């Protein structure tokens, strides 16, 4: 069951938006959107949430926190800070993985020399919103490829019922779990009904741009 206080924190900053036509990063469509950017604007809110993300883990057993850009940059910092505060000594490092033109097939990579801090380290992966688990899985695979040991995956919200089997068998801790109906583009009822795509939140603007090119 979701913690009522956490749900209230999400609601207070407008982090859950409904009754519109959204396109997710995964390409799936839905009428509900988890606006994590609304959380990131409030340092005290995100600080408390990251304390909760870190809470289930033994701080003495974690060396590094890694998240995918963009949200993972913020989360890795706050979660690493929360873990460091609970350690007797030493610091938990905060790193991030990013995509870019210099990354093979635009997969996640450590492009800033971060890879040298991963080998033989215990790593906690953090993510803001899980929809398919694809980004988290790529980061997990990346950490393992560089010799790191994954101790867990902690997320703000699991909106796609993502299970450990979807992320290479890693146990998932999420503050909020939402059961949202999502649709592939070719089965989206909102598209079929001609409901306008929301271009302010999610990937609606990019979706419409692709549609325009496809029609040319």
Q: Print pLDDT tens along the chain (216 aa).
A: 789 999 999 999 999 999 999 999 889 999 999 999 999 999 999 999 999 999 999 999 999 999 999 999 999 999 999 999 999 999 999 999 998 655 456 789 998 889 999 999 999 999 999 988 999 999 999 999 999 999 999 999 999 899 999 999 999 999 999 988 999 999 999 999 999 999 999 999 999 999 888 887
Residue 83 phi, psi (nearest 5): -70, -40
Q: Count CB-CB contacts under 10 A for residue 145.
A: 12
Give the domain CATH number at 187: 3.40.50.2020
Closest CA to 32 of 150, 179, 139: 179
- pLDDT tens sequence across 36-87: 999 999 999 999 999 999 999 999 999 999 999 999 999 999 999 999 999 9
Domain count, the chain: 1
User: What's the pLDDT score for residue 215?
Assistant: 83
Domain that holds residue 177: 4-215
User: What's the pLDDT score for residue 213?
Assistant: 87
User: What's the pLDDT score for residue 103?
Assistant: 47
Query: How many Cα atoms are found within 13 Å in the side-chain-facing hemisphere of 93?
Result: 13
User: What's the pLDDT score for residue 2?
Assistant: 87
- pLDDT tens sequence across 41-51: 999 999 999 99
């Amino acid at each position: 069951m979701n913690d009522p206080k956490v749900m209230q924190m999400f609601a207070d900053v407008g982090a859950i938006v409904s009754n519109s036509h959204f396109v997710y990063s995964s390409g799936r469509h839905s009428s509900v959107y988890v606006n994590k950017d609304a959380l990131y604007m409030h340092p005290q809110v995100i600080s408390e949430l990251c304390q909760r993300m870190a809470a289930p883990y033994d701080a003495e057993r974690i060396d590094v926190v890694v998240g995918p850009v963009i949200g993972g940059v913020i989360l890795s910092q706050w979660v690493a800070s929360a873990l460091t505060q609970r350690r007797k000594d030493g610091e938990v490092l905060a790193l991030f993985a990013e995509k870019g033109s210099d990354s093979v097939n635009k997969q996640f990579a450590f492009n800033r020399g971060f890879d040298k801090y991963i080998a033989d380290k215990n790593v906690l992966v953090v993510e803001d919103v899980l929809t398919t688990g694809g980004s988290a899985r790529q980061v997990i695979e990346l950490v393992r490829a560089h010799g790191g040991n994954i101790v867990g995956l902690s997320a703000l919200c699991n909106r796609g019922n993502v299970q450990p089997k979807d992320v290479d068998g890693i146990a998932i801790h999420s503050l909020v779990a939402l059961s949202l109906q999502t649709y592939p583009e070719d089965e989206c009822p909102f598209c079929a009904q001609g409901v306008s795509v929301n271009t302010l939140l999610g990937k609606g603007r990019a979706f419409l741009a692709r549609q325009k090119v496809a029609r040319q």
